[in-house]
Amino acid sequence: MNAVLQNIEPKEVFKYFEEISEIPRGSENEEAISNYLVQFAKNRSLEVYQDEALNVIIKKEATKGYEKSPTVIVQGHMDMVCEKNKDTEHDFYKDPINLKVDGDMISAQGTTLGADNGIAVAFCLAILDADDIAHPPIEVLITTEEEIGLKGATKLDASNLKGKIFINIDAEEEGVLLVSCSGGVRSKVSIPIIWEEINENLSSYSIKIRGLKGGHSGMDIDKERGNSNKLMGRVLNDLYNQYSICISDINGGSKLNAIPREADAIVYIHSKQVDKVKSEIGKWDKIFKNECRSSDSNVSVEIEKIDRKMESVFSNETFKKVLSLFFLIPYGVQSMSMDIKGLVESSTNLGVVTTTEDEVTFNSATRSSVGSLKDYIVQQIRKGAERVETDIEISSSYPEWQYKKDSYIRELFITVYERLYGRKPKISAIHAGLECGLFSEKLGDIDMISFGPNMYDVHTPDEHLSISSTKRTWEYLISVLKEIK
């Protein structure tokens, strides 16, 4: 380990953040980090549970004087979103995250940092390891596969948890206390590919969309950032309507909870039309630069010749269905809350488009703080699937977390914040799927709050974490724990 963070305060937190950054922990690749957490607990003779889904619960007794205090569940997730730049050599299945420090910020070299939600894991480990922090009985809960639909939390048997106060550390803005979140669901529409051979002398070209910022498909959806899949659909539809192009491959995005930044298509063009198609691509490059001038100023559309022998391409019927879905599947904000100013109420993200030997799949993540509106958006996608005579697959549905009118932990967080900083924190809801919704169902009458330090550009290779904010947030957390008696 390079110990890049060894002299940064709070040392007890960044020590563990750096340790877990050495362990690959992308969603569905969490056995190593889960086993690390179990061994951590065993080394300290702490009570520990690990289930088949690799979720981990670690319990620590109250410090002296807090034996009769209510038990507190402190919770985060162990998996991270694995995104990297095209020119970055990194294997998320075996390579550690290469950390770097620039002033007040910690980031990674060309990849996501994993502060979402590694900083929660680091906080929890620092609490469990400490012998100088006053606290009530603690139940640390670290879940798996949060980033791909809260799967670990869904599978968790909550009978091992006794706490009635729940502190989630999966927020990304200091001074903002989250008290509600949206529910979500994932949908996949698949177009079976009919392949056909073309005897014409066509040349192969790659169309690429690059330079978009991307971002979290819930928290950044209101920033009107370009979606590479939707943009590619517009380009291909225009070319199809004007020229004799064929297509054999289209792929865009890599994670459903990230706004897609890049998309690629392989097309085949008649030699007599190549110059006109190139000119048309140039027009689209200008169009997108104008449309996205504020949100994604570096967007580009490029076309380049590639050496790829054409054996078969999508049939005209398949191509038309693919183009139709690009337009029929919605993207972006669908409704705004009338109760909380500025809060996105409902949205959907066409996050991943993939071509295999048999089909083209369109994968969307839909969110809403109102269950019926979430269902309505899914019905729109379903109708789009029906229009092209195919089916929709629904998965990973999870509930919203509703605001609780009377909350002891919320009022305590407010009181401690005012004492530390001389001002009130912001009470807010989030347009993203926190595990709080599931745990409110599993645990019944649970008093919940979510908070965290300042993080930026999560789910992208530009993700970075504020050191000073992490320090303040850590001090805030241990001050709150000290007050729970």
What are the residues whose beta carbons fall under 8 Å from the beta carbon of 308, sequence distance 6 or more? Answer: 204, 266
| Residue 292 token pair | 């996205």
What is the b/e burial string over 249-281, where b = at least 16 CB atoms within 10 angstroms of the residue's CB? bbbbbbbbbbbbbbbbbbbbbbeebbeebeebb
Residues 6+ apart with CB under 8 A from 280: 238, 239, 242, 243
All residues at 6 or more sequence positions from 219 whose CB lies less than 8 Å from its CB, including other chains: 172, 430, 431, 432, 458
Active site residue 296: no
Q: 199: exposed, middle or buried (C-beta count within 10 Å: 0-12, 13-18, 19+)? A: exposed
Helices (H) and strands (E) in the chain, counts: 11, 23
Candidate list 145, 146, 345, 462, residue with the active-site label: 146
Cβ proximity of 169 and 452 under 8 Å: yes
Beta bridge partners of 216: 258
DSSP state, 84? B
**Maximum alpha-carbon separation in the chain:** 84
Spatial strand order in the sheet of 72-77: 47-50, 56-60, 138-143, 72-77, 165-168, 447-450, 176-181, 426-430
Asked if 47 and 58 touch (Cβ cutoff 8 Å), the reply is yes
Closest C-alpha to 182, from 437, 412, 453, 405: 437
Q: Is 79 a catalytic residue?
A: yes
Catalytic residue (choose from 18, 30, 79, 139): 79
Active site residues: 79, 146
